[in-house]
Every structure is written in C-alpha cells, then in structure tokens.
Amino acid sequence: MQNDSSFTFVLFGGTGDLAMRKILPALYEAHKGGMLDESGKIVAVARVAHDKAEYLQWIEEHVRGHVPKSDFDETVWQGFLSRIEYVQLDLSKQGDFVLLRDQLLALPSGIRVFYLATGPSLFVPICRALADVGLNEGARIVLEKPLGYDLASSNAINDAVGEIFAEEQIYRIDHYLGKESVQNLLALRFGNVLFEPLWRREWVESIQITIAEELGVEGRGDFYNQTGALRDMVQNHLLQLLSIVAMEPPHAIESDSVRDEKLRVLRSLKPVQRGDISKVAVRGQYHAGVIRGTHVPAYAAEKGVPPDSSTETFVALKVEIENWRWAGVPFFLRTGKRLADRVAEIVVNFRQVPHPALGNMPAGQNRLVIRLQPNESIRLYCQAKQPGEGWDLAQVHLDLAFDQFFKENRMEAYQRLLLDVINGRLALFVRRDEQEAAWRWVEPILDEWATQNKGPKPYAAGTWGPAAASAMLAQHGTCWLEEEN
C-alpha cells in the first residue's frame, strides 16, 4: 500500500546496532514494496565524522548484509540509498541542532519523525534540544526500550518528554506488537465467534507465554548487567503479550480502543506480595554449557559482566488476573537467554473433558499453540479416534502455517511499526498509562531481588532454565509444553 504522505525520518543513533540490524533494513523493505512516498527522506544522525558518501559506504558494509538476499534488487537498493542523508551531531552542542534544523527545513515538507535509537539517558536531552530549535511542533517521536530503570525513572522520562511532545505524538515502540502472529491473535479472537465462548476461566485451565533465546548477551554485557531479564523482557514484551491474550473485545481496532482494554488487564494483575515472591517468581543465570554442539561460556564470564554478578538471565512467573473472565486461571510467563531453543509462543491449555465417556484419555489435552517465532503459525490440538477396532484416541492437530497458506510476503515487525509511525497509527504502540501499570506490577519483584542475599538459580546453557521453573508449574498439576512432548 502506497503511503501518500511526504515524510522525513530522522534516525538518531544512525550508526548503532539497532539501525544496522533492524531499522534501516525495515525501511529498505518498505521502499522496495512501494510503501513510502517517493519524496520521503531518511536523515541519519550520529557523532561519527562521516560525510554523506562515507555514511552510504558504511551502509553498504554494515546494513546490506541484513537485507534478505533472496529477492535483492541492486536498482531498488540504489534508489533506497538516494533517500538517505547524514548529519554529524554532537548532543552537547546546541549549534549542531540548529544545523540539523536548517537541513531539515531544506527538505520537502511533510510529516517529520524522530526515532531515538539511543540509550534512554539521551531521550530527554535530545527532546529538549529539538524543542529549543522548534523541531517538536507537529512531529512524531519514537522511543525505544528500555524506557527507564524502574517506575520512578520511567515517570521522569515520560514527564520530561511529555512537556515537549503531546501523548499522541509519542510512539513507545515494542517490536513484538508488530509481529504478524500478534495481529493474527487479535484476528483469531475477535474475528471468529468460535473461540470467544471458550476464552474464559470456565474452559481454560492455564496459559503459558514463552520468549526463549539461544543467544547470550552478545557483547552487550555492560548494558545487560544493569538491566536483567525482568526489565528487558517481562516489563514490556511479556506483559504486552499477556494483555493482548487476556483483553476484552475492543470497540474497534484503533489506538485508544485497543490500548484501553490492554490497560484494564494490566491494572487487574494480582499484586505480588513480598512474602509470596519466592512462590511465584523464579530467577536464574546461565552457566557454561553446550548449544547445538558449541560450548558457550557462563554469563559471569561474558565481556563486561562482573564475575560476581547477580543479574538474572532467566525469569519465570506465575501471574493471576483478578477479573471475572480470568479469576483463578494461572498465566505462566517465561523468558531467558542461552536456552535450548529460540522460540516465542503462547499456549492456551483448555480444561480436560468432565467425563471420559470414551474410556481412558491419552496424554495431552485440547490446546491452542500460537507460535510467534521462528515460524509463525497457529496449531489447535484435539483428540481423534485412531483407525481400527475400538475407541483408542490420539492427539492430532489442525495447523495454520502462515507461510504456506498466505503466499504474499509478510512484513517484519519493525517494517510494520515504522509504517504505522509514518501513517500516524498508534494502536500498536504503548501508551504511558500502560507502561506505568506494568512497572508498578514488576517493581515489588525487583525490590525483593535487590535485597535478597541469595542470587539467581544456576542453569546450564542449552537447557530450559532452572528446575525451580518446572517445579512451580508442577505445583499446579501442569508442565511447560516441551516437557510434555
């Protein structure tokens, strides 16, 4: 779909890892698909002393390798490069922002987007400097995570940015919300009458949400050691997925309707009492191990990580929602680094049949598995009669693999979200009150872990985390999906 609005996309952190791996490749894909207005420009901003030719050479060396090679077109690539400008800017020099303003005013008029692919400590200084030269008027500002270190620091950033940009100008990005499978979760729930009667406590026994990574900290030890898995993944990605799974039907798929319903879920999360944290929260840290035949070091041996670090690389939680739809249904959340596989999925376990009229039921139960990565799919498990004499049952599944059913190229998460920013669609971005509710819920856990003498539980790299995470589910008569299989 062609975007008919001229735009200028200003990328702070234009030589950073995120720009290289995600943002610029996503903008290239949008360009290749004819989704950007022909007059739209991309202005990369960084401290590095490049001129335009040198920056384009940097893109050739560092970005081109992250663009899919299957249908690469050199002519299209060169057309994309023709959109790009580069501005060297020192954040401490107000005069550099004046020069930035003058260069932006010389470009075609239209929507102006400022994407802050920087550390959160730079968000407020950049916003204030933009306001000082009048670049905040009518613009859109995109804030990457993490937005703060806790509720107080998050509020401080939001307060300061909110003095400069109105809430409808602020796009707090969570790339999981841009995944095609998350959109299909909304379509599955609210486009089909089939599931709605079952999507409640009377028929759902438990729900699991997992985001597992095989990778470690990948050279970001300094950053990760100050963050940890709870801040890095739970406070945003996992709680956002939870709110979409559990939300009530919105009035329409528009920004405030969707975000209002997500907020109601976040505000309904049962508060975690300090004395109960050990029962409902497990934290772990990976030790040396083997992943796909390769030996990997322990977290404490990673570059930039102190050898006595107590930062968690794994979190498993039992969460409850105190409302009529979900009262009594446990939601089990799990994320970690250096786990056995790279997978993100949502597992809805339905209750067992009330009476086994056909005799002994086989292992397993009705469940819906929504795979977010690596291969997006939806799979519904049910029981069927095996061929032959008698009533022997077996678990079978109905499968929707998106790449097999839909032949169109699917947009990557960042591509979708960047187009939404340019087109002014806020539904897939996090509103401030959502963010506050999420921080408020996780903060007691953060505080308790900060005061505990005992550190995270060890687990070997290449496994599924500490045994305590499995024991937590066993207390509720269930197990993680891979353990059943």
Largest CA distance in the chain: 84
The answer to whether the annotation marks 132 as part of a ligand binding site is: no
50 labelled catalytic: no
The answer to whether the annotation marks 175 as part of a ligand binding site is: yes
Buried residues in 161-190 as b, exposed as e (16+ CB within 10 A): beebbeeebbbbbbbbbbbbbbbbbbebbb
Q: 257: helix, coil or strand? A: helix
d(CA 43, CA 302): 35
The answer to whether the annotation marks 214 as part of a ligand binding site is: no
The answer to whether the annotation marks 91 as part of a ligand binding site is: yes
Which residue is catalytic, options 31, 237, 251, 397?
A: 237
Cα–Cα separations (whole angstroms), residue 452 to 86, 283, 308, 315: 48, 12, 14, 16
Q: 57: helix, coil or strand? A: helix
Q: Which two tokens stand for residue 173?
A: 């990005």
Cα–Cα separations (whole angstroms), residue 333 to 9, 73, 90, 226: 36, 41, 41, 22
The answer to whether the annotation marks 168 as part of a ligand binding site is: no
DSSP string, 429-470: SB-HHHHHHHHHHHHHHHHHHHH-SS-PEEEETTBSS-HHHH
- Could you tell me the end-to-end alpha-carbon distance of the chain, in angstroms, rounded to an integer? 42
The answer to whether the annotation marks 392 as part of a ligand binding site is: no
Q: Which two tokens stand for residue 59?
A: 């893109």
The answer to whether the annotation marks 337 as part of a ligand binding site is: yes
In terms of C-beta density within 10 A (0-12 exposed, 13-18 middle, 19 or more buried), how is residue 256 classed? Answer: middle
The answer to whether the annotation marks 260 as part of a ligand binding site is: no
Q: What φ, ψ does residue 125 adopt, rounded to 5°?
A: -55, -40
The answer to whether the annotation marks 213 as part of a ligand binding site is: yes
Q: Residues at the annotated binding site for substrate?
A: 175, 179, 213, 232, 337
Q: Residues at the annotated binding site?
A: 47, 90-91, 145, 175, 179, 213, 232, 337
Q: Residues at the annotated binding site for NADP(+)?
A: 47, 90-91, 145
Question: Hey, which residues are catalytic here?
Answer: 237
